[in-house]
């Protein structure tokens, strides 16, 4: 049974297949099968891009979906995640796409007989976001080896940062970090930390992150203005970036905080391209997990 819970165990051939398939899906919107397939999207946290791009991917693949709203489900009566998932399996869903605030929520679901695609677990992993980031970077540079990627902002609480850092290093990129020291990973090596002024000058890829206010108390004592001036991408800092450097952000973004309002759609920004690539990546993952083309690429669970 194929699944996608984290990227940690992906082999290079598996990763390469998913990126190539995602790139191919960019130019395809035709359903890939005739058999009725129904999946359920279970989002226990708010989401716009991930939820909507999964829904768009499902529609373009000809997959039907079960509408699930946690606030109007038996979760409110104390039903466990496992029992919710087993119910959806029992009524005929072929896969579950789940976002949940609990770290490694999928460890509770080992009794399922249908695949789970992780759409984000707490501050743990966000594999499809990482795949769309990788696709965007590769489309730009055609490589990962020797690229310098600087991840900036609320590192400790970001599942995007955790997933991207591991796979980028595995692919040969140099990964550095910038942001408030109190929001850095405690295991961070000293030579991996850059000030924001150093980051803009050194980065080939500058990846900005939102402050995860829902995962800690407040904004760490920063006003929007002070955070922007100390740790954000200001107009003045953007001018110091390398000519070919690009700007990424998983969104939602706070204009005037992580980056200046006028930089959201500047020439080097790939933020909305990331969103477009999100549909292609999620089509590729769904097609692979559900084996829609009837091709057997890998036997092992991913």
The pLDDT tens digits for 95-149 are: 999 999 999 999 999 999 999 999 999 888 999 999 999 999 999 999 999 999 9
For residue 72, what is the DSSP state?
A: G
Q: Is 99 assigned a ligand-binding role in the annotation? A: yes
Asked whether residue 174 is domain-assigned, the answer is yes
The DSSP bridge partners found for residue 208 are 152
Asked whether residue 299 is domain-assigned, the answer is no
Q: Is 126 assigned a ligand-binding role in the annotation? A: yes
Q: Is 128 assigned a ligand-binding role in the annotation? A: no
Tokens of 183: 């929001």
Q: Which residues of the chain have pLDDT under 50?
A: 294-302
Closest C-alpha among 153, 183, 170, 179 to residue 254: 153
Kind and range of the H or E run holding 81: helix 81-90
Q: Is 270 assigned a ligand-binding role in the annotation? A: no
pLDDT value at position 259? 95
Whether residue 146 sits in one domain with residue 204:
yes
Show the domain range for 51: 12-126+276-290
Sign of the four-CA dihedral 79, 85, 275, 156:
positive
Contact yes or no for 154/179 (Cβ under 8 A): yes
Q: Is 252 assigned a ligand-binding role in the annotation? A: yes
Asked whether residue 2 is domain-assigned, the answer is no
83/92 Cα distance (integer angstroms): 14
Whether residue 168 sits in one domain with residue 205:
yes
Q: Is 138 assigned a ligand-binding role in the annotation? A: no
Strand runs (DSSP E) across 79-223, as ranges?
95-100, 116-121, 148-152, 174-178, 205-208
For residue 48, what is the DSSP state?
A: S
Whether residue 173 sits in one domain with residue 42:
no
Q: Is 129 assigned a ligand-binding role in the annotation? A: yes
pLDDT value at position 295? 42
pLDDT value at position 31? 63
232/196 Cα distance (integer angstroms): 7
How many folded domains does the chain comprise? 2
What is the three-state SS of 93-119? CCEEEEEECCCCHHHHHCCCCCCEEEE
């Amino acid at each position: 049974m194929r699944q996608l819970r984290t990227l940690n165990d992906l082999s290079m051939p598996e990763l390469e297949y998913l990126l190539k398939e995602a790139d191919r899906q960019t130019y395809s919107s035709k359903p890939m099968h005739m058999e009725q397939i129904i999946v359920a999207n279970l989002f226990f946290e708010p989401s716009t891009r991930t939820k909507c791009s999964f829904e768009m991917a499902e529609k373009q693949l000809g997959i039907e979906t079960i509408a699930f709203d946690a606030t109007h489900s038996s979760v409110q009566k104390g039903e466990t995640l496992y029992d919710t998932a087993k119910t959806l399996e029992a009524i005929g869903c072929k896969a579950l796409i789940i976002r949940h605030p609990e770290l490694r929520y999928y460890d509770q679901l080992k009794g399922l007989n249908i695949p789970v695609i992780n759409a984000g677990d707490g501050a743990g992993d966000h594999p499809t976001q990482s795949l769309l980031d990788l696709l965007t970077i590769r489309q730009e540079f055609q490589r990962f080896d020797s690229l310098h990627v600087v991840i900036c902002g609320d590192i400790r609480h970001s599942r995007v940062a955790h997933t991207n850092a591991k796979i980028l290093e595995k692919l040969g990129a140099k990964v550095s970090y910038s942001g408030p020291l109190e929001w850095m990973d405690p295991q961070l090596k000293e030579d991996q930390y850059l000030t924001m002024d150093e980051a803009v000058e050194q980065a080939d890829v500058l990846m900005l992150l939102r402050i995860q206010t829902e995962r800690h108390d407040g904004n760490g004592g920063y006003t929007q203005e002070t955070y922007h001036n100390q740790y954000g991408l200001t107009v003045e800092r953007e001018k110091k970036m390398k000519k070919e450097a690009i700007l990424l952000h998983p969104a939602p973004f706070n204009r005037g905080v992580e980056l200046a309002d006028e930089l959201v759609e500047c020439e080097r920004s790939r933020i909305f391209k990331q969103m477009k690539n999100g549909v292609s990546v999620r089509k590729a993952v769904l097609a692979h997990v559900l084996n829609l083309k009837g091709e057997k690429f890998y036997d092992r669970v991913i």
